[in-house]
Chains A and B, each alone.
Chain A
């Protein structure tokens, strides 16, 4: 069974006719050929498929494409290109915030969204006082990034990259 769905991906309107079982992740990777978003587990366990939908990061493997009629989706390709990288992408390169690179698009999308969440005052499990605005501390970053597994173990460098981007923005 198929259905039509239209959404905006990286600022461009896309109209698709999809098997209704198609995840947003597979719609991106297999139908729109936007393979920057990765499939690490397909079960919401690794974060490799993280994209930003209507301003919030989600695991695109855990949601069906047809549920996103009218949504605005930002993928790693929408953040920057090798020639014109987003500051977070550039910081990952500078701080070696990756090794194999497979978790990286998900980490970068999460990292961008995490700094927005902190800026917007969204608390986390480690925010000491819910009455205060959360701060960009290593502990906050680690907590909020914990849905993005990096088996290569680049965590320490990713926190450095995020801290630099957060600092240069403040």
Chain B
């Protein structure tokens, strides 16, 4: 099915199932511990041996010698595989750095090999016996020093490295009110709760991996490419994924090493990355330095807005588009953005939840708060004054839907924003200093081709198969809702099978495109099935209704179950609607923070997010997406920080004790409001995604609330008490 004209009224608009807050259909499996994650596939590979990954303890250089002889002789050991013994390997298309290092070492904790043994304890003990001598080489680890040598970023998924409209320099120089501020954001770890894990088994030259992966088809291709075997020889299975956030978009070392290990010992092998290795072995959200300049008239009209960002990555890496939102979010005739990428030797940087906007909004939305204060304007009002209904770079291009102002207004009302004291450091609640903060949320609404197969089985059961993944996002449920609505059956008559490369290729889970794309693919397949069913009963498909398990046309009706045996497969292919109009999702975050006046301890007390993101397919799981992203925003604001050892070149705090993420005690009750919206230009379901919208701006709203509470402006994340203490107001 092609989607190149805005959606008209269609079966989804009945909203009997779609749009309802259904419980997750796989929920009971998760709540009872019976959902099988990758490392747990005793059913598929009952006799698997255990692999333990050996990693580099230097960041850059060469292996002078690697002696695995003691490990090979250790009890239970079946094989030790290193680059020397692995045979020729390629690098995946989506990997920047090779997954198996040696003799050249490209980053700290790069995998050097795997020890395979009968038990995990044996493999771990033997791995400690592998002796590696290194020739260390100097590396580049300090972004602040690399910044000046940074080159123009290669055009990546995020658009051109330089954009300009009007005369930014002139307009900024002559602006009556202006801000020029530089911000920094540290690296972040995905820190999903399920470590990267794979069980691999060969059957002749056919490889099956049960793994934890967001993008089945990409990774099937990349695993094949890495192992230098045809893609058709690889089957990748990933029905349950214990979180990904972008960290599982790619094949990682454990999958390659499990496959190599299984080949070597001629039996299935399972490998999981240990938690302390994950932070440096896998990918992370890169640290940034960002300069934001805003010029405005005294009444708060932006006349010039500029955003520049710097990051570093390994040779061959690409840059996150941190400036993207600044091209679209606010009006202003004169504008510029610039993205610069330096070469560095820390572990590979790559996508993490809302790559680009998540970090970019951390800077831009503090800058907007600072600018509002300079203008003497309320920060909600300042944003509203600079709303635009068209792409500010290409004014002929409207937004398909843009309820940004409504998000701000409704949120301000609901949150009690009018009670905010614009003078910071003035409001007390008992001992605490209290402040309110606001920030915009903005994220694009990309879509990708996505296919599915639907089959009517005996008894009227509808089976949906697609290689789409559910990483906690709710895919199982919204896909079932889509199929149920389109075919006119109750939700419990639908079975959804996901995450298997034997199924039709979907959009996968990334970039907030999963929900809209994958449900559209399922819709397309169901519409094809409807044609077949109508044909079978001799009906005109255009004049046939599918409701309550019945197929009706011209006074005649048949039970849908009578069409058992029919199968349909189709894909949704998106046309140019997203070029003619800007498809985006919007929101506004409101935060109340309290700061202890003596210790500067920060507590988030209330959080509200108002979102406008097209039709919400399932308000319950969509809300969870947003609150989860807000939690991650609190982490980014107050604690998450991959601390770099700038001499040895690695992330020091590489476990869950050192890399702090929010826990229960950090998070208050959270509220989410979805504005009524349908976006016919977005997809047949008139839906967009929300998985990433909620993180965009959330950290800045927290930072702005802390500023309002204390009067101390922190421009280097995370906002920790040591950065507040010196400037804290005198209190009685």
Task: Write the residues of chain A forming the contact surface with B, with a CB cutoff of 8 angstroms.
Answer: 19, 21-22, 26, 29-30, 33-43, 45-46, 48, 75-77, 79-83, 85, 89-90, 92-94, 96, 98-105, 108, 138, 141-143, 145-159
Q: Please, which residues of chain B bring their CB within 8 A of the CB of A98?
A: 27, 30-31, 472
Q: Please, which residues of chain A bring their CB within 8 A of the CB of B655?
A: 41, 43, 45
Complex contact A37–B193 (CB within 8 A)? no
B705 on the interface (CB 8 Å rule)?
A: no
Q: CB within 8 A of A46: which of B28, B193, B245, B627?
A: B193
Contact (A43, B620) CB under 8 Å given A81-B34, A99-B472: no
Residues of B26-55 contacting chain A, CB below 8 A = 26-37, 39-40, 42
Q: Please, which residues of chain A bring their CB within 8 A of the CB of B623?
A: 96
Contact (A159, B664) CB under 8 Å given A38-B194, A43-B655, A98-B472: yes
Complex contact B628–A39 (CB within 8 A)? no
Shortest Cβ distance from B699 into chain A, in angstroms? 13
Complex contact B669–A103 (CB within 8 A)? no
Q: Please, which residues of chain B bring their CB within 8 A of the CB of A75?
A: 33
Q: CB within 8 A of B664: which of A35, A80, A108, A148?
A: A148
Interface string of B652-696 (1 = CB under 8 A from A): 000111000111110111100000000000000000000000000
Count of interface residues, chain B, beta-carbon cutoff 8 Å: 65
Shortest Cβ distance from B152 into chain A, in angstroms? 35
Complex contact B33–A155 (CB within 8 A)? no
Closest to B630 in A: A153
Complex contact B656–A41 (CB within 8 A)? yes
Complex contact A153–B193 (CB within 8 A)? no
Complex contact B193–A45 (CB within 8 A)? no
Complex contact B241–A76 (CB within 8 A)? no
Complex contact A142–B664 (CB within 8 A)? yes
- 30 A-B pairs with CB atoms under 8 Å apart are A22-B121, A26-B120, A35-B33, A40-B195, A43-B275, A76-B32, A76-B33, A85-B32, A92-B31, A93-B24, A93-B31, A98-B472, A99-B621, A100-B194, A100-B243, A101-B240, A101-B242, A102-B192, A102-B243, A103-B193, A104-B33, A146-B663, A147-B663, A151-B191, A151-B192, A152-B624, A153-B631, A155-B663, A157-B627, A159-B669
Q: How far is the CA of A162 from the CA of B519 in the complex (A)?
A: 32
Shortest Cβ distance from A99 into chain B, in angstroms? 3
Closest to B274 in A: A42
Q: Please, which residues of chain A bring their CB within 8 A of the CB of B24?
A: 93, 96
Residues of B103-135 contacting chain A, CB below 8 A = 119-122, 125
Shortest Cβ distance from B510 into chain A, in angstroms? 15
B584 on the interface (CB 8 Å rule)?
A: no
Shortest Cβ distance from B620 into chain A, in angstroms? 5
Complex contact B628–A153 (CB within 8 A)? yes
Q: CB within 8 A of A30: which of B30, B35, B120, B193?
A: B120
Complex contact B39–A39 (CB within 8 A)? yes
Complex contact A155–B664 (CB within 8 A)? yes
Closest to B607 in A: A156
Shortest Cβ distance from A87 into chain B, in angstroms? 11
Q: CB within 8 A of B122: which of A19, A40, A159?
A: A19
Q: CB within 8 A of B32: which of A38, A81, A143, A146?
A: A81
Q: CB within 8 A of B473: which of A94, A99, A108, A146?
A: A99
Q: How far is the CA of A153 from the CA of B657 in the complex (A)?
A: 17
Q: CB within 8 A of A89: which of B28, B40, B191, B624?
A: B28
Q: Please, which residues of chain A bring their CB within 8 A of the CB of B28?
A: 82-83, 85, 89, 93
